[in-house]
Every structure is written in C-alpha cells, then in structure tokens.
Structure 1
C-alpha cells in the first residue's frame, strides 16, 4: 500500500491556474486517504506558504535557469533532470506512488525511470488531446512533437492513467490501460457560500486561462449586439485574457457598442476572483466541437458551480453530457455562433429573480454532490483496492 504520493509537473503551484487547481484537488483526495502528498512544481510566488506547505501539501520548488537561453533549454530539453534530482533526494521506494501531470516526455520518463528502478507505482494525469491545427507552425513546434510522443507512446508505460474525460478514457481503455477518470474537482467548503443577491443588474463572467478553447470573439460580438436597454441590465466581466479581449473589441470596432462597456480584468489575485464569483450570476462558455474541446473538461465549470453561478455553455464534452441539464442547473446552447450566444444571453436576462435563485442553488448542489473532492475519496480507494 502506498505511503506517499508525489505529483510532478510544471504548473505554477499553488493557485497558478487551472492545472494547479486540478492538482490541488487531487492532492486533497489523497490527503483524505491519510497519505503524505508532495507536489514537485515551479512555485507560484504570489501565494504565501506555511513553511514549505500549502493546505497540508508539501511543495518542492523546481528552479530552472532564469536567463532566457538557459530557461529555453531547461524547459524544452533538460527539464527531466530537475525532477530526477528531486525525486532522488526523497529516496523513493516501492511504497511510494509517483504521478506525472505533464505532456512533456522528459518529465514523464524521469518519473518512469525512478519508479521502475525502485518498484514504485506510477500514474499520469491526461487533461488535453491536441491536434496539429491547435498549434501554430506545428511542424516546427517543439510542444506539438513532445505532446505527440507523450500521448501516443510514453503514457502507455505508466501503471495507471487518470484521464480528465470519457473521450480520453475511451482511447486508453480500448488499449487495455488501467484508467480512472478524474474530472476537475473542487473543495466546496474552502470558501463561504452565500445565496445570490439579485438586484437590477445581472453579472456575467468569463474566466479564461491558458490555451484558448472558447469562442470568446463570438461571445464579445454577441454582447455588442445587445440594445441599450439590455446592456444596462447586465455587467460582463472577462478575466485572465484581457489582451485578447481588447484586441477583439478593437479589430471589430466595438468600442462604442455594448462590447465597449465590458469590464476587462487583465489579472486578478485569487481572493478578488472569489469575490467576483460570489456576486456573479452567470458564467458563459461558448465552444465549438473538436477533439480539443471533447477531450478537455474546463475547470471553470465545477469552480463556478460551487459558487452557485449558472453556466451558459455549448453542448460539448462530459460536463453537458453527464452533469449539466438545460433548464435545471444551466442554459445549454447548441453551437457557438454569434446569434446562438446572443439568444442565450437574452434567455438569461429574461429569467426572474426567483428562477435565478432556484437555478443557482441547484448549481451549488451539483458541485457538492458531483465535484467535491470528498465524493471521490472512496471511489479512488476502491480503484486501488
């Protein structure tokens, strides 16, 4: 039986984005199983640790060289040696369980070599499945080729695979891999939950981060088509992708439209984002159907559900297939074109205060019963047994 769980990757831990939050929730599942958890990652300097721990998770910082050329070499070609060195320091043995959260074959192979050498079990978290079209200049893109090697070759060497979606799970299950599907999880008790206050304005949010999978350009255009009376009844906050949002508004000459009144946040401390979540009524997530969106599970779904925020989202992936139901805890769109998004916004604006409260409370219940990490402790324990 495992004594320690070591999670390796480069995801700006803690609170540095969706990847860091995903790992944090998984770590809490193992902590609930009375395991000691160590996260080996670059550290988010904006978050203060207690000693070298965050919420009971030991954090081991990965320091790459800081000069531009040295960092490029380390990040793209030499990063595996950093993980090998740290893992060796911890005297890994057969009672340890090493998990990689990475698409980098150098990191993955470091985990595999250490694990194989001492007889420790290994696992890999798979949260993306990209195609050539998802990369600029894919032929010369190092990230593309490393992800292909990882997905189609290296991942099969792990003892366990933790896919984020049924789409990825099916691929590996059909090739006789031992899989346990882990969507994005949350801690619904970490922050206080209050029933939504409904005043004259309804607050819409778009929390973005990382590789853009969402039809944000079409979403901004849809908001620009609202009439003045409609625009006065809402606020639309865009978080994390301010530069892209500003470019869209400028390119489409939307400065004098309703889109010009959008509130754009370039970057927000997590505590400020939580304050916005506690006020917000709707989260809008428009996506096309592709391998990338079918394979992914956006962390913004369970995260915003836990604050009682109603998702307005396109029908794609596990979240609309398994967890959300139109007219109960969400407003589902079929497609992501401008007119479809506009109709969904107007549908939200037409909801009564009582309807918003009822939907919001059902969102919170969905988060508590489907995505709280505590609900996944026993299933994961059963999987290992």
Structure 2
C-alpha cells in the first residue's frame, strides 16, 4: 500500500481531466492505496482550500491575479514547483503521479522526489499539435512536446492513455508503461432497444480545436433539406453557437437540436437514447495520441460510433460491427455515412449496439486495470 499524491491542472470530477484522475484514484483505492490530489489550477476550488470528495482530499494551492506571474509560470512553472515541493514535504507520499505536466517540471520533480525516496510516475493523455496552437497555447504545446521527448524517459512508470503513447514510450526505452484508456462508471448492462423513428446521432463535448463538428452539421442540414430524416443532438454547444457557426437562423428546421452545457447526468441520458454518436477529427498527432472520452463513454452506454479514421482510438471501431467509419472528414463523405445509418433496420442497429456495449465492457471496465496499476505505483513491475 502506498500514499499517493496526484498532481496536475485538474479539479473535481467535472471535466475530462478531473474525471480521468478521479477514476484512476478509485482503482488505486481498491488496492488499499491512499490518494490525495494537488490541484494547481481549477475553477470551483478556492486558493488554499482543502475539500473532501468521495473520501479523497483535494488540495487547491494557487491562483494568480497577476498576469505577469501567470506568464512566468507558463514559461517555467516556478510558482507551481514551489507549491509542489511544499505539499510533498507536508503529505510525505510514497509516490507522486504527475498529470500532463505542461511546464517542463518533470525533471525537477523527479530529482526532488528521488532524493527523498519517492518514486515518480506520469499520467499522459495529451500530445498537442504545435502548429495548430496559438499564443500561450503554443508555449504549452512546446513545453509538453519537449517534456515527452526529453524528460519522461526518466520516470519510474508511465500511465499511457492510448496505444500510440504506449508504442512511443516503449520505442524510447521506457519499461514500466501501463496502458489505461478512459475508465467509465456508466457501463450499461443491456442496450436501449431501437424503435423505428427518425434516427438520432449525438455529439457531446466541447469541439475547441479537436473535433470537426461543422462538416457533420452541414451534412445533417443538407441531408434534411427536403424533409428531416435524421436528428443531430448537440450537447455542449449552444443554439446561438450553432447559428453563428452555420450562419443559419433556425437549426431545428434542419434537424439540429443544441442543448448547450448541461449536467453530465442529463448528457448521459441523451447519449443513451441516440442511435449513434459522432466523432470526426483531423488526421494529426493530437488525435492519434489522445483517447476521446466521448468515444469510450458512447461504447460503454451501448451506442455505436460514427467516426473517421485517424489511426488513434478510432481503431477500436470496426465498420458495420460497433460503429460506422467515414471515408473522410468532408461533408459529402459524412452524408454518405448518414445514408447508411438511415438505411439500417431497427434490428441491425440493435446488433451494432450490442457489439458497441461488448467493446465498452471489455475495454473501459476499471476492474481489469486494478492489479497492474497497483503493481506500477508500488514498484512491483
């Protein structure tokens, strides 16, 4: 059993990052380990606030009003490093897990911890595309790229979110690489049977620079020009945002229903009622290295996925079995995939749903990772 300090820019399990570390912490707790979180920056937790959530301690230690200090911290993490050292001295962990270090602090954390007999691991989920990053994001992207290429090889163990990361780290000589995809609490026991109606395809998330949502919306609108044959349920994007993005006045007339930001529980219910979820991404490194929580959540709920091929997590989608593959990422190829969905019978969609759920149960049930994760943090590998 170990005392573990999880460090990173996350907070309570309300965002993808917060959910990721919370799920892993629960698996570690199942093996008798104690886990505390050091949240370096997260809205909703006040500075120096310590809260308990589901038996875990969350320590919130920094918030700068000064733009100068924030800028300096992004460049070199000087203020975060000071806080990290202070909390390590107070908490006295046996091992530290650093979540997606974005300030090149890994080497300094390793040095500080190893002198005190503390092992250091990393939870790695993102490898940003430098060419697509802007302003401060470009600095972060460069920091992360440098860390992955130059620093992570000195870690005692690595929790990798994807096959892409696992293959990369092993290629540079890292031995203790444990692949843990997004773990889901919402794995269903049975599918939601399909009843003949207008088909629903759901998108749930925040597109930002990752997801290509406009080609999908355009495809739905064009397919529904004469009559509404398919409904796009859009969660995380407001109706006003859809109107501005598509330059139309009434998205619902085109079969597009935007829910905006809603509680996660309500989002789950909308996804469960869909026939498919959708994930369209560019064929770039960020899509290969990451692992979409939207994809794992959809499969865990028994909802097949409509996606394009980029060589990342989408490789678990087998066309015609647990989802449908789009030939490209443009409007016309998405329309062709939508036509396939519309042509499916209720029974054929139910077969896809059963296969999707089986994939979810096989890959995203945390019980499969408890032992290997415990071995990693306790130095047993």
Q: TM-score, normalised by structure 1?
A: 0.85
Q: Distance between the aligned counterparts of 1:217 and 1:34, measured in 2?
A: 46
Match of 1:372 in 2: 365
**1:81 and 2:78 aligned:** no
Please report how far the alpha carbon of residue 331 of structure 1 lies from its aligned counterpart in structure 2 after TM superposition.
0.8
- The residue correspondences of 1:238-253 to structure 2 (distance < 5 A) are 238-242=234-238, 245-250=242-247
Match of 1:144 in 2: 141
Match of 1:354 in 2: 347
Instruction: Return the match for 1:285 from 268, 276, 279.
Output: 279
Does the 8 Å contact 1:163/1:180 carry over to 2?
yes
For structure 2, the 5+ residue unaligned runs are: none
Q: Distance between the aligned counterparts of 2:17 and 2:195, measured in 1?
A: 32
Q: Distance between the aligned counterparts of 2:95 and 2:207, measured in 1?
A: 28
Instruction: Return the match for 1:276 from 270, 288, 302.
Output: 270
For structure 1, the 5+ residue unaligned runs are: none
Does the 8 Å contact 1:14/1:43 carry over to 2?
no
**1:198 and 2:199 aligned:** no
Does the 8 Å contact 1:4/1:36 carry over to 2?
yes
**1:333 and 2:326 aligned:** yes
* Residue 73 to residue 264, structure 1, CA distance change in 2 (3 Å): farther
- The residue correspondences of 1:1-385 to structure 2 (distance < 5 A) are 2-15=1-14, 17-41=15-39, 42=41, 45=44, 52-66=51-65, 70-74=69-73, 77=77, 78-92=79-93, 96-105=94-103, 107-109=105-107, 111-136=109-134, 141-178=138-175, 179-188=177-186, 195-209=192-206, 211-228=208-225, 231=228, 233-242=229-238, 245-250=242-247, 254-255=248-249, 261-321=255-315, 323-381=316-374, 384-385=380-381
* Residue 25 to residue 257, structure 1, CA distance change in 2 (3 Å): closer
Please report how far the alpha carbon of residue 117 of structure 1 lies from its aligned counterpart in structure 2 after TM superposition.
2.4
Please report how far the alpha carbon of residue 313 of structure 1 lies from its aligned counterpart in structure 2 after TM superposition.
0.7
* Residue 52 to residue 338, structure 1, CA distance change in 2 (3 Å): same
Q: Distance between the aligned counterparts of 2:265 and 2:54, measured in 1?
A: 16
CA offsets 1:70-108 (integer angstroms, 9 cap, x no match): 55555554222222222222023xxx1211112323553
Does the 8 Å contact 1:223/1:258 carry over to 2?
no
CA offsets 1:311-334 (integer angstroms, 9 cap, x no match): 00112234333x321111111122
Q: Distance between the aligned counterparts of 2:254 and 2:197, measured in 1?
A: 20
SS in 2 for 1:317: coil
CA offsets 1:293-327 (integer angstroms, 9 cap, x no match): 11121111111111111100112234333x32111
Q: TM-score, normalised by structure 2?
A: 0.86
Does the 8 Å contact 1:196/1:279 carry over to 2?
no
Aligned residues: 369
SS in 2 for 1:187: coil
Q: Distance between the aligned counterparts of 1:204 and 1:221, measured in 2?
A: 14
* Residue 90 to residue 162, structure 1, CA distance change in 2 (3 Å): same
CA offsets 1:166-186 (integer angstroms, 9 cap, x no match): 222222211111222222221
Please report how far the alpha carbon of residue 292 of structure 1 lies from its aligned counterpart in structure 2 after TM superposition.
1.8
Q: Distance between the aligned counterparts of 2:202 and 2:194, measured in 1?
A: 16
Q: Distance between the aligned counterparts of 1:136 and 1:74, measured in 2?
A: 17
Does the 8 Å contact 1:203/1:280 carry over to 2?
yes
Q: Distance between the aligned counterparts of 2:312 and 2:107, measured in 1?
A: 30
SS in 1 for 2:200: strand
CA offsets 1:107-152 (integer angstroms, 9 cap, x no match): 53553244212111111122222333121258x9322332233222
Does the 8 Å contact 2:7/2:97 carry over to 1?
yes
CA offsets 1:154-199 (integer angstroms, 9 cap, x no match): 222211122222222222211111222222221245x786624535
